């Protein structure tokens, strides 16, 4: 399903113009992601969709390009695990990261990955005030 211009606008406003995952302010060229993935062979033009039941308006999320590209066809929990493992990967493979860490420029934490939309919906449901923007990460 390709969203209409009006539907794109509604998806953009779903989290007050923020990425549903990282919470950054969306810019021109933002992406629309399926929260529950629809699986495609994206490299083959016209390839079939393997989970068409997930191609619904309510499953569409506003996303910054980097979150959407990294999430690709992962489930939400697998995307969370991927992000949590970035530190392990950086410590193993990035000399610049290791040096910056040695100089105290980076401090690692063991915080749980919580997505912007999870915080948003928790507070929105608690306050039930649709007029208030919730910008959690500023």
Report yes or no: 57 and 14 within 8 Å, Cβ to Cβ.
Answer: no
Q: What's the structural domain count of the chain? A: 1
pLDDT digits (tens, 9 = 90+) for 98-125: 999 999 999 999 899 999 999 998 887 6
| Structural domain range at position 31 | 5-74+116-127
105 occurs within a structural domain: no
21 occurs within a structural domain: yes
Please calculate the CA angle 32-37-43 and round it to the nearest 5 degrees: 80
**Domain at 24, CATH number:** 3.40.1800
Give the count of alpha carbons within 13 A of 66, CB side only.
7
pLDDT digits (tens, 9 = 90+) for 18-74: 999 999 999 999 999 999 999 877 667 777 778 889 989 999 999 999 999 999 999
In angstroms, rounded to a whole number, what is the distance separating the alpha carbons of residues 45 and 123?
A: 41
28 occurs within a structural domain: yes
98 occurs within a structural domain: no
90 occurs within a structural domain: no
- How much is the pTM? 0.83
101 occurs within a structural domain: no
């Amino acid at each position: 399903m390709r969203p209409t211009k009006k539907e794109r606008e509604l998806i953009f406003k779903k989290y007050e113009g923020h990425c549903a995952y990282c919470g950054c302010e969306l810019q021109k060229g933002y992406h629309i992601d399926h929260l529950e993935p629809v699986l495609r062979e994206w490299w083959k033009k016209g390839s079939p969709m393997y989970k068409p039941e997930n191609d619904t308006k309510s499953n569409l999320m506003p996303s910054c390009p980097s979150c959407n590209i990294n999430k690709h066809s992962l489930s939400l929990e697998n995307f969370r695990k991927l992000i949590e493992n970035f530190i392990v990967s950086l410590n193993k493979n990035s000399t610049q990261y290791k040096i910056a860490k040695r100089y105290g420029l980076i401090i690692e934490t063991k915080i749980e990955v919580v997505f912007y939309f999870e915080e948003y919906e928790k507070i929105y449901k608690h306050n039930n005030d649709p007029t208030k923007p919730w910008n959690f990460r500023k």
